[in-house]
A = this chain, B = another copy of it.
Amino acid sequence: MTSESARVRSGRPRLVDRGDDQLDPHDQILAAAAELFAERGYGATTTRAIAEKVGIRQASLYYHFAGKDEILLELLETSVRPSLAYLTDLLRHPDPAVALAALAILDVDTLIATPHNIGTLYLSHEVLEPRFESFRQAREALREAYSELCGRIGTHLDADFLGACCLQLVELVITLRRDGEPPASTAIDIAAACLSVVGVSPPGPALDQGIRVAGELRARLTAQQPGESSATDA
């Protein structure tokens, strides 16, 4: 398999799929933009090209979004917002190792579900600009949650550093998606790696409970927002 076919395969939703006709125009625009940003880069993609891909007029695109920046911002936030929704529950969990495993699983699922692997744009220079501050703050809140849980697990290592290591391991899935569809076990394997980094040894018991907690939280959030689906739903 070439990396080109892998990239196309890992992107979703695809506009050529029949399923995409069921997306509302707002989500069709997001999907088309994600595909073009991933293919050509953010700077080289115009709102005209996005509108053409969706099959609408440029003026109609502006009915849904103020411009390209707003589309990228929404895509970036899509890659962190669902995880943030779980934080209150997870930070209240009595066992920080279980909460850490559950957070990593939910977070990997979220990144697997983002259209066209939008996390590849995390390191782009645009994301450093002030207009994307709210995304950076959301991602920082996620990093702080990892660090807080690491600190509570308690090791001799710096909790801030360990939290950054956990988020970095979670984002390995962005690289894996570039090479094709990651195996079904990826979220659990990455959660195990996070527990090992923090020194939870053996990680097995906390991991098993973390899988259960992640499943319960996902079921509850899906029940609240019927339109939302998870990448690891059976």
Contacts and interface: CB of A to CB of B under 8 A. Distances in A.
Interface of A: 3-4, 7, 38-44, 119-126, 128, 136, 157-158, 161-162, 164-165, 168-169, 171-172, 174-176, 178, 189-190, 192-193, 196-199, 201
A218 to B, nearest CB: 23
Nearest to A158: B189
B189 A161 contact: yes
Contacts of A192: 157
A123 B168 CA distance: 14
Question: Copies of this chain, how many?
Answer: 2
A192 B175 CA distance: 22
A165 B189 CA distance: 10
20 contacts: A41-B42, A41-B124, A43-B43, A120-B123, A120-B125, A121-B123, A122-B123, A123-B123, A123-B124, A123-B178, A162-B193, A164-B175, A168-B169, A168-B175, A169-B169, A193-B197, A196-B196, A196-B197, A197-B197, A201-B201
